[in-house]
Amino acid sequence: MHRTYIQSIFFFALLIGVLVLAFFIFLPYFTTLSVAATFAVVTYPLHKRITRLLRNRESIAALLTVCITALIVLAPLTFIGTQVVRESQNLYQRIVENQESLTESFTGFIEAAIERFAPQVSLDLNRYVGQGLSWIVGKIGPLFAGTAQTFLHLFLGIIAYFYFLKDGRRFLGTLVTLSPLSDGDDVKILSRLEMAINSIMRGTLTIALIQGVLTGVGLTIFGVPSPTLWGSLAAVGALIPGVGTAIIVTPAVLFLFITGKTVAAIGLLIWGIVAVGLIDNFLGPVLVGRGVRIHPFFILFAVIGGIGLFGPLGFLLGPLVLSLLYALLDIYRLLMIDKQSVGAAP
């Protein structure tokens, strides 16, 4: 009996030690694996459809899904990210060198408007915008710098994405088997997590990205400088309830009016209302469907906090953590209801 107890203590000490070592081995690639898993969850319905078309050839189906995702997501994201960094650097350089007049920058125009209507308010937006642009370059720049480390994480992420698609269900089955919770609770947690991830990624974030892209297109068409940068900020603004892309479109329209480009200003206003403002009404029900509706206010803080904690990939990882929290709270609510029902039963 005593020998069995010592063996158990030794085994669990060894297990904990190996788990700690494994944790530190995988820690540098936690972000890469998390993003790959998120994409696998979001694109799994597409993978299943391709698998059926290929008569259950999962390896080929997973490879095709990875290729489609790279064409639709990775290539445009790389182009947009590189352009945002370039425009941020250029604008920051112009602000530092004081080569931009009041009629040539958003900051100068907003400063002049504030001083006109509230002369007692002293505001140096150039300094704040310069700090913001410096933060963007510092956070996002390394991701698109083309370093060996970036390519390594990209390569490992694609490999992980492939195997999550191909063997993800088997991985989850092993996780459910090893979990100390009941299999029913594990299945509930995983299904709620999948629903929350799909709702946020395919719904709120996708719509915000589309609105940001359309805003950038409109700014390009009507001649507003640094359109990719402002379009990216519009995507973040789209997550703010009651404000949306108007946080960028409105100053841009006023900027065009002030600089004498009246036709362009009217065109951008119509573009902002029709092409950008109505996207949520049309795409929201299609992309989200009957999924979980998480308030954009919390998603906004998850995105900003995620970027601050994880870097640029926090745009995905922040909402992913929020999805997990939402799933766990939902399970907790259901467990409490079941417990109260059992306690109330005669």
Tell me whether residue 16 is in a domain. Answer: no
Tell me whether residue 109 is in a domain. Answer: no
316 shares its domain with 200: yes
Residue range 9-30, pLDDT digits in tens: 888 889 899 989 988 998 888 8
Look at residues 150, 178, 206 and tell me which one is the last residue of a structural domain.
Answer: 178
Tell me whether residue 122 is in a domain. Answer: no
Tell me whether residue 259 is in a domain. Answer: yes
Residue-range definition of the domain harbouring residue 195: 179-339
Tell me whether residue 266 is in a domain. Answer: yes
225 shares its domain with 272: yes
164 shares its domain with 251: no
74 shares its domain with 153: yes
Core vs surface per residue 274-298: b (16+ CB within 10 A) or e: eebbebbeeeeeebbeebbebebeb
Low-confidence ranges of the chain (pLDDT < 70): 1-3, 89, 91-148, 241-242, 275, 277, 280-294, 312-313, 337-346
Tell me whether residue 18 is in a domain. Answer: no
Query: Helix/strand/coil (H, E, C) string of the chain?
Result: CHHHHHHHHHHHHHHHHHHHHHHHHHHHHHHHHHHHHHHHHHHHHHHHHHHHHCCCCHHHHHHHHHHHHHHHHHHHHHHHHHHHHHHHHHHHHHHHHCCCCHHHCHHHHHHHHHHHHCCCCCCCHHHHHHHHHHHHHHHHHHHHCCCHHHHHHHHHHHHHHHHHHHHHHHHHHHHHHHCCCCHHHHHHHHHHHHHHHHHHHHHHHHHHHHHHHHHHHHHHHCCCCCHHHHHHHHHHHCCCCCCCCHHHHHHHHHHHHHCCCHHHHHHHHHHHHHHHCCHHHHHHHHHHCCCCCCCHHHHHHHHHHHHHHHCCCHHHHHHHHHHHHHHHHHHHHHHHHHHHHHHHCC
Place of tokens 């609105």: 211
Tell me how many domains the chain contains. Answer: 2
Tell me whether residue 226 is in a domain. Answer: yes
165 shares its domain with 183: no
Look at residues 160, 178, 196 and tell me which one is the last residue of a structural domain.
Answer: 178
Q: Which amino acid is at 283?
A: L
171 shares its domain with 183: no
Q: Which amino acid is at 186?
A: D
168 shares its domain with 258: no
Tell me whether residue 10 is in a domain. Answer: no
Token pair in block for residue 296: 């954009």
157 shares its domain with 228: no
172 shares its domain with 200: no
283 shares its domain with 158: no
Look at residues 152, 178, 204 and tell me which one is the last residue of a structural domain.
Answer: 178
295 shares its domain with 319: yes
301 shares its domain with 200: yes
